[in-house]
Amino acid sequence: MGRLVAPRSVSVRLPFAWKRAAAVVLVAHLFILFGLETLLGLFSPQPPPAQLQMGPVSFQMLSERAPPIQSPTPQPFPGLSQIAQQNMLSPPVSVQAPPPADASPAGQPPASGVQKSSAERTPRPDELPGVGGVALSVFFGDHAGNTPIAKGSIEISFPSEGRYQIRLLTKALGWAAMFAPNPLFAETVGRIGPGGLQPERYTHRSPRGREEVSTFDYDTGKVIYSSLKEPLPLEKGIQDRLSFMIQLAWMLKIEPERFAVGESILLPMAGRNKVEKVNFTVISESDIVLPGGVIVPAIHLSTYGRGERVRGQIDVWLDRTDRLLPVRIRFEEARGQVLDLLAVRNP
């Protein structure tokens, strides 16, 4: 009998093209992870490259008649609250006309004939968006032609009189979930007083578990960052990376004349590690088309055009049909990376 010979081990070599494709996928999803980590941290201390030319934001307008983008029916997941899950499957709530300027809420004395500006006025409950949330789809890059990499929600509540809480939660989908297994979480809590929202604590937790906290100390006039050794000055009317959207919505409701196309609203903002005054310019008052072909009338504000001091760009579209809550939020970093968040609406 002949000897039994052990079979040789067979090594399989992947073609170079396959290796290159795998490398491209890996790099792309690493970019997604970094994008999710800096979702609300666009104010970098480093200026953009000198050769960067930032053009106007591209967005889908009704007049462009862009073909609707088909998106799958959203499926709830445990990280979202019942409010957000219900909003994912329900139509938006229509905005009722605000009461006359001289009207007062029940149980309160009538307002005086002279109306205070937003810098001095304390918001009434009927002037704020009210309890509720907006379900979101998150895209890496502009949403047109892309597939969502995450889903989530923005929710606002008022735990007690004169107090507010805003939360943002996103959870990665598909391939992105391998690189960002944990949800991205951001929360701001504070009080409601003269000038609108007054943030007291902002918390940002990245998909990799890194947490950053900003504390607003109004007694000492300082913003204390967990990531910085020294506090930064707290300016009057300051907002954080979540509260600014609700602050703008309130200002739009009580001072609509300030939001004509071309006008600018200056807000002090506490970014990731910097406090600066941010100029929000009213770009347009027009309809936008959401994935699925849903048409929403909105007002578009952008930080585009801040000159040499630009640290990235924020665009927000406030929904005229749903309590002036954001229907789209677009973040663009100085290097050009874009995250696009859109409200989920069924046709």
DSSP string, 199-260: EEEEEEE-TTS-EEEEEEETTTTEEEETT-SS-EEPPTT-B-TTHHHHHHHHHHHH-GGGGS
What is the band of 341 on the pLDDT scale with cuts at 50, 70, 90? very high
Q: Are 299 and 317 in contact (CB under 8 A)?
A: yes
- pLDDT for position 16: 56
Mean pLDDT over each residue of the chain, to the nearest integer:
74
Q: How far is the C-alpha of 150 from the C-alpha of 226, rounded, in Å?
A: 27
pLDDT class for 1, splitting at 50, 70, 90? low
* Residue 221 pLDDT grade (very low, low, confident, very high; cuts 50, 70, 90): very high
pLDDT at 37: 54
Q: At residue 47, what is the residue type? A: P
At 20, the pLDDT band (50, 70, 90 cuts) reads low
Rounded mean pLDDT, 178-200? 93
The whole-number average pLDDT for the span 211-220 is 96
Range with lowest mean pLDDT among 66-75, 265-274, 307-316: 66-75
pLDDT tens digits, 83-139: 444 443 344 433 333 333 333 443 344 444 456 678 889 999 999 988 888 999 998
Indicate if the pLDDT at residue 12 is higher than 70.
no
Most confidently modeled of 11-20, 76-85, 242-251? 242-251
Per residue in 247-292, pLDDT tens? 999 999 999 999 999 999 999 999 888 899 999 999 999 899 888 8
- Which H helix or E strand runs over 29? helix 16-37
Question: pTM of the prediction?
Answer: 0.71
**Measured between alpha carbons, how far is residue 257 from residues 101, 191, 254 in Å?**
14, 26, 9
Please tell me which residue, 82 or 211, carries the higher pLDDT value: 211
Res. 73: pLDDT tops 80: no
Say yes or no to pLDDT of 182 above 50: yes
pLDDT greater than 50 at residue 68: no
Question: Comparing 202 with 131, which gets the higher pLDDT?
Answer: 202
Q: Name the residue with higher pLDDT: 263 or 31.
A: 263
pLDDT of 46 strictly over 60: no
Q: Which pLDDT score is estimated for 147?
A: 86
- The confidence score (pLDDT) of residue 332 equals 87
**Does the pLDDT at position 167 exceed 50?**
yes
Residue 64: DSSP 8-state: G
Percent of the residues in the chain that have a pLDDT greater than 90, as a whole number: 43
- The residue behind tokens 């170079």 is 16
CA end-to-end distance (rounded Å), the chain:
76
Please report which confidence band the pLDDT of residue 43 belongs to, taking 50, 70 and 90 as the band edges: very low
CB 163 within 8 A of CB 114: no
Q: How confident is the model at residue 79 (pLDDT cuts 50, 70, 90)?
A: very low
Give the least confident one: 69-83, 181-195, 299-313.
69-83
Q: What is the pLDDT of residue 106?
A: 37
